[in-house]
Structure 1
Amino acid sequence: MSTRTPPTLIVAPDPGDAALTRAVTGRDGTGAPVDLRVVEERPLTIYLNSREIVTAMTIGDHPRWLGLGFLVNQGMVRAADEVTGIEYDAETEAVVIRTATETDHEAKLARATRTSGCAVGTVFGDMMEGLEGLTLPATPLRVSDLRALSAAIARTPSLYLEAGAIHGTCLCRGPDPIAYFEDVGRHNAVDKLAGWMRATRTDPADKTLYTTGRLTSEMVIKCALMGIPSLVSRSGFTAWGVEIARQVGLTVVGRMKGERFVCLSGEDRVEWDV
């Protein structure tokens, strides 16, 4: 396994942020008192112009990127839409994404609530429609890079190591992590990343998306719509997730722990250099 030192992350978890965790007391299996930190959950209501779209339960960091990324990943804000402003109000726990012209979603969508659990989440038909005619870059994925990534991410200070009960998503280039986000819901973590990529105009063509969550259909769709050609997880797959990945040409690697992994889509783009 590689022992190389990864470059500094552009965006990294902040396990020292006191607003993201809370100290609680309890007792362990022997009855002895214990003190530990647990992650916070708070609602964030996302607006698209004047329409309330969804309320998501989140740890509370990067609300602007989460709001923008959610709308991008759901197909409500498309590449051609000009985002003119992103406003966050901490008191009302709401973020408003404004576009130059009104989209067709404000009028047709009713309010929806997405929980922080690991269910599929809120899915809109526009996500599936966005896959029609989609072609992803045939960027190779090297086994040596996968092993280096696994080691680098495991060494990164995170809320997961501090308190657990949280998912992580990391954008990577080759063997190097670039931007790492966490949240109680794996979809929230991916949406934060999508919002950051949109705001920074990050090119997805040579990137890999690493996630701690299961490779479900929605995770595969989000990765494909973000234009990222490779999706990697330490968790497992669903059959529909694999089927969609094969349809759109997404390289999917799961059950990655140390030097072990399974590739169920895009095997021809994996370079077995180790």
Structure 2
Amino acid sequence: MSYLLAPNPKAKGLSTAVTGLDQNGNTVDLHVVTERPLTLYLNSQEIVTMMTIGDHPDLLALGYLINQNMLRATDPIDTIEFDDELGVVIVRTPVETDFEVKSKKRVRTSGCAQGTVFSDVIDAFDDIQLASNARLHTSWLPILTKQINTTPSLYLDAGAIHGCVLCREDQPLVYVEDVGRHNAVDKIAGWMAKHNETADDKIFYTTGRLTSEMVIKTVMMGIPILVSRSGFTAWGVELARQSGLTLIGRARGDRFTILAGQERVIFDNKADDAS
């Protein structure tokens, strides 16, 4: 398979070799995923400190700002600067952003700069129209899941990590991982913005639960179809139905469950109920 971006489980610093004991007291050697803090600045304003495995800090920073509605995907970016030693990434824009302007007003009036960020995200979420003509053939799902599950990854090498994959039809295009599923989603958003990638014809696959956060981020990216091998939360389902997102969970092989947006699904690979 040919990815545009794929995990590199052997990359330096992403995992650490440790020694322990098994259930019989025998010595075992294994790799565990690393975590490191990354502090994000938007121009001169500190935004958040994230725990991450440390790869693709530029994509993570850009995607976080977009998914939090602090930047638009079309906003001009001067530079994205990363200091590995300090654990800092700075996204610089040619002019002060709307978020910075609003944050200054909030500091003056309430003393809380980011207390209403969530409401801003929900306002933007409510205004997004997902592509109604997008389609998902059920015959694509077993092909996709097999390719993703057999791709060399930190998950296979060390576990304790989430993966997210941007797909088109039955082909995975971009596969990233992180200790938090939200970080992995943001890396995808950053990659899409960096490469001016369209969203209408894409499928988003995640190893994590289909929570409200996952639904909101997928809709914020404009992707009409979200698939997971895991299960759902009630609010995630409610938001998917509200936004018109196609929501598919428990996707394993040719088995899955659709709880929203079934009008986009073409059933061309029905599973044998007797099997």
Q: Mark yes or no: TM-score above 0.5.
A: yes
- Is 1:235 the equivalent of 2:230? yes
CA deviation after TM superposition for structure 1 residue 142, in Å:
0.7
- Give the alignment partner of residue 156 of structure 1, picking from 151, 160, 182: 151
Deviations along 1:216-263, one digit per CA (max 9) or x if unpaired, are: 111101101101010000111111111111111100100111121100
Deviations along 1:121-143, one digit per CA (max 9) or x if unpaired, are: x9722211112232101201110
SS of the equivalent of 2:236 reads helix
- Is 1:253 the equivalent of 2:248? yes
Name structure 1 gaps, 5 residues minimum.
1-5, 113-121
Q: 1:63 to 1:111 in 2, by over 3 A?
A: farther
Q: 1:63 to 1:9 in 2, by over 3 A?
A: same
Aligned pairs for 1:101-116 within 5 A? 101-106=95-100, 107=104, 108=106
- Is 1:63 the equivalent of 2:63? no
**Which position in structure 2 is the counterpart of 1:118?**
none
**Which position in structure 2 is the counterpart of 1:178?**
173
1:21–1:39: 8 Å Cα contact kept in structure 2? yes
Deviations along 1:62-100, one digit per CA (max 9) or x if unpaired, are: 001000100000000014522121111111111111112
**Which position in structure 1 is the counterpart of 2:94?**
100
Aligned pairs for 1:203-218 within 5 A? 203-218=198-213
Work out the CA distance in 2 between the residues paired with 1:254 and 1:243: 14
- Is 1:52 the equivalent of 2:52? no
Aligned residue identity for 1:221: I
Structure (1 or 2) with the larger CA radius of gyration: 2
Aligned pairs for 1:76-225 within 5 A? 76-106=70-100, 107=104, 108=106, 124-138=118-132, 139-225=134-220
- Is 1:270 the equivalent of 2:265? yes
Aligned residue identity for 2:182: H
Aligned residue identity for 1:225: M
Work out the CA distance in 1 between the residues paired with 2:223 and 2:117: 20
Work out the CA distance in 2 between the residues paired with 1:43 and 1:17: 18
SS of the equivalent of 1:223 reads helix
1:52–1:111: 8 Å Cα contact kept in structure 2? no
SS of the equivalent of 1:19 reads coil
- Give the alignment partner of residue 9 of structure 1, picking from 3, 10, 13: 3
Name structure 2 gaps, 5 residues minimum.
270-275
Q: 1:145 to 1:251 in 2, by over 3 A?
A: same
Work out the CA distance in 2 between the residues paired with 1:100 and 1:22: 39
Work out the CA distance in 2 between the residues paired with 1:244 and 1:104: 26
Work out the CA distance in 2 between the residues paired with 1:235 and 1:189: 16
RMSD: 1.5
Q: Normalising by structure 2, what TM-score?
A: 0.91
Aligned residue identity for 2:18: V
CA deviation after TM superposition for structure 1 residue 146, in Å:
1.0
1:232–1:254: 8 Å Cα contact kept in structure 2? yes
Work out the CA distance in 2 between the residues paired with 1:175 and 1:79: 26
Aligned residue identity for 1:257: R
Deviations along 1:103-137, one digit per CA (max 9) or x if unpaired, are: 2333247688xxxxxxxxx9722211112232101
